[in-house]
Amino acid sequence: MEEVLLRLKELLFPSIADVAVLSGDVNIAIVRVDAQCTADGAVCPVCGTRSNRLHGSYLRFPADVPSGGRRVVLQLRVRRFTCGNQSCARRTFVEQIPGLTRRHSQRTERLRSALASVGLALAGRAGARIASVLGVSVSRSTVLRLVDALPEPEMVAPRVVGVDEYATRKGRHYGTVLIDIETRRPVDLLPDREASSLAAVARRTAGR
Ligand SMILES: [Zn+2]
């Protein structure tokens, strides 16, 4: 049995250290994977002090990437530790498994990044639809929120810029939107349609 669980761990979490699979359960719609962190203690997210003073534990159920068309839900037993640093503002904290969980998230890191990639390519509504085809139930606003939470891409000065207009909500006022032709991302919004604003941006961009 142990051998099977070890193999399951390799299969499910190949790049994640300090996690052990305790059991797995497959039914018609859902795969449930019972897992826990095996690290000796955790680092306080506020002060960075390592602690292994156990305060308690509870279950979390983050959704993971689907497998074989089924939803995958982890059943993670997470531990709460007491921070040993007397001057730290945080008395206790909950462990996170690097590369797998983050605070308050109901999804694993890889599911978050998969949905964010879908959202980047397709935006909210179509993103949510494609996710459901892949076996992930998610709302379009969540898809957009995950895109929004992505780290800012490194700013590379665009090589080719296109110009378009945008209207303010009431349509009474027009501004100019600059688009990086290669990445198709907006680069800048100008409040008006004056050539002088455009020239100012061109100077700024050239100086990057
Ligand atoms: Zn602390």
3-state secondary structure of 81: strand
Residue with tokens 């019972």: 34
CA of 84 to the centre of ligand 1 (A): 7
CA of 15 to the centre of ligand 1 (A): 27
Q: Which residues of 73-91 are buried (b: 16+ CB within 10 A; e: fewer)?
A: bbbbebbebbbeeeeeeee
3-state secondary structure of 136: coil
Helix (H) or strand (E) holding 179: strand 174-180
CA of 127 to the centre of ligand 1 (A): 39
Task: Give the CA count within 13 Å in the CB-facing half-sphere of 113.
Answer: 7
Q: What is the rounded CA–CA span in Å between residue 85 and residue 63? A: 33
- The pLDDT of residue 33 is 94
DSSP code, position 151 = P
| 74-116 residue pLDDT tens | 999 999 999 999 999 999 999 999 889 999 899 999 999 888 8
DSSP code, position 90 = -
- The pLDDT of residue 205 is 62
CA of 47 to the centre of ligand 1 (A): 4
* pLDDT class of 176 with cuts at 50, 70, 90: confident
